[in-house]
Structure 1
């Protein structure tokens, strides 16, 4: 994963249209690149959040809980800012699949998902402590994987090494070749941040987009 710049002091933070500072509470390079599409000045802060699933927690509940927890964690440190938090969990028959972290786990995930439909639950939350604003939304993306051979899985993983991606595939890259279909109403949700929903929440928080 690419390194993320540390958050500068409050006096140096930029202010988007609407008056308040905007902070992305995430270490994901993918979310940072997506948020840049909105052409709003923003800064990045790493949320200190334990991402361990709770016992019996569904993928949807886990994604919602972590997205909100990340936004709240950063908002406590920067109460005057509008903070975005997000989380994505792959849902295979109700079982949460997170980031594989290494090659062996990625192989296992893709073998389990081949020929199956996986729901990628992507939650986004916007929090501003100063204005007592807090709102969340969720995009559920249905992804049908092809019946992949072991050779196809190995070729893909060696080419793209998506070990920091939930579900072990990057749909915005070569990972699209692993799929039969994608069904969703927020095109960037599968990459990691549902921008349609994010814009809606930011407007509700007072930003002009």
Structure 2
């Protein structure tokens, strides 16, 4: 049986590392979806729905250019009190983001969609709740000095797999969902589509 190739519609190093770590053979191709425009059109969508719609759009965009492949689209949103927050542009804004999260819970929603020949074959969104501890200003200064521009790679301005773990008081949810993709349901869907051995 010839298995359809798997393409990740993303340049995300974390998502590539997840797939590689799980021995999922894949290539990557960045989607050309205008994410700000799509987000702006989803005014009535919840943060979880925004993550799923972005994942679907990315998968369909790359699938249109890669027939015969299974394309994984994935996206993550940060939900603070029901508001969808976007990535920040610089370390000053990262400081403000982390201060807004300090001592409070927030939710991360990771959406994933699989497209085959221009149609969505599978879609899922999973969520996790993280509570940031009441860290000191001195800790925040040290954290941002250590992380530098890496803090800008995540909408929440932390990497849980790095120094960002020290920001947390509690974490509830699947590890891979927190990292940016609900890996277990994605792998099962890939098996169902014949892209991975069952």
TM-score, normalisation: structure 1 = 0.86
> Which secondary structure does the structure 2 equivalent of 1:83 belong to?
strand
Q: Which of 147, 156, 159 is matched with 1:170 structurally?
A: 159
> Which secondary structure does the structure 2 equivalent of 1:77 belong to?
coil
Q: Residue 159 of structure 1 corresponds to which residue in structure 2?
A: 146
Q: Residue 195 of structure 1 corresponds to which residue in structure 2?
A: 183
Q: Which of 14, 34, 59 is matched with 2:18 structurally?
A: 34
**Superposition RMSD in Å:** 1.6
Q: Write the distance in 1 (CA, Å) between the matches of 2:2 and 2:186.
A: 16
> Which secondary structure does the structure 1 equivalent of 2:20 belong to?
helix
Tell me by how many angstroms 1:154 deviates.
Answer: 2.0
User: Any gaps of 5 or more consecutive residues in structure 1?
Assistant: 1-16
Instruction: Number of aligned residue pairs: give it.
Output: 191
Q: Residue 12 of structure 1 corresponds to which residue in structure 2?
A: none
> If each structure's helix is expressed as a fraction of its own residues, which one has the higher value?
2
Q: Write the distance in 2 (CA, Å) between the matches of 1:67 and 1:101.
A: 22
Q: Residue 123 of structure 1 corresponds to which residue in structure 2?
A: 111
User: Any gaps of 5 or more consecutive residues in structure 2?
Assistant: none
Q: Residue 182 of structure 1 corresponds to which residue in structure 2?
A: 171
Q: Do the aligned partners of 1:72 and 1:127 also contact (CA within 8 Å) in 2?
A: yes
Q: Do the aligned partners of 1:110 and 1:168 also contact (CA within 8 Å) in 2?
A: yes
Moved over 4 A (4+): none
Q: Write the distance in 2 (CA, Å) between the matches of 1:101 and 1:56.
A: 25
